[in-house]
Amino acid sequence: MLNNSKDKQLSAWRLYLASHTHLTTHLDSHLKASGLISFDTLIILTALIESPNNRLRMSELAANITFSRSGLSRKVDRLERAGLIRREPAPNDRRGWYAVATDEGIEARAKALSVYEPELENVWRSVLSEEESAQLSALLSEVIKRATG
Partner DNA sequence: AAAGATTGATCTGTCAATCTTT
Partner DNA sequence: AAAGATTGACAGATCAATCTTT
Point out which residues bind a copy of itself (CB under 8 A): 5-6, 8-13, 15-25, 66, 117, 120-121, 123-128, 130, 132-137, 139-144, 146-148
- Rounded-to-integer distance, Cα 105 and Cα 109, Å: 6
Least distance CB 108 / DNA (angstroms): 15
Name the burial class of residue 109, with classes exposed (0-12), middle (13-18) and buried (19+) by CB atoms within 10 angstroms of its CB: buried
Q: Draw the binding track, 11-50, toward DNA (x: CB under 7 A; -: no contact).
A: ---------------------x-------x----------
Distance of closest approach, residue 77 Cβ to DNA, in angstroms: 6
> Kind of pairing, strands 85-89 and 97-101?
antiparallel
Query: How many residues touch DNA (CB under 7 A)?
Result: 28
Q: Which of 94, 131, 148, 149 is the binder for DNA (CB under 7 A)?
A: 94
Residue 52 per-residue DSSP state = G
Of 1, 52, 95, 145, which one interacts with DNA (CB under 7 A)?
Answer: 95
Contacts with 80 (C-beta within 8 Å, 6 or more apart), sequence order: 86, 87
CB distance 55 to 48 below 8 Å: yes
Angular region, 88: left φ>0, alpha ψ -120 to 50, beta rest: beta
Establish if 146 lies at the interface with DNA (CB under 7 A). no
Question: Residue 127 binds which one of DNA, a copy of itself, none, with CB within 5 to 8 A depending on kind?
Answer: a copy of itself
Q: Give the footprint of DNA on this chain (CB under 7 A).
A: 32, 40, 57-60, 62, 66-78, 87, 90, 93-98
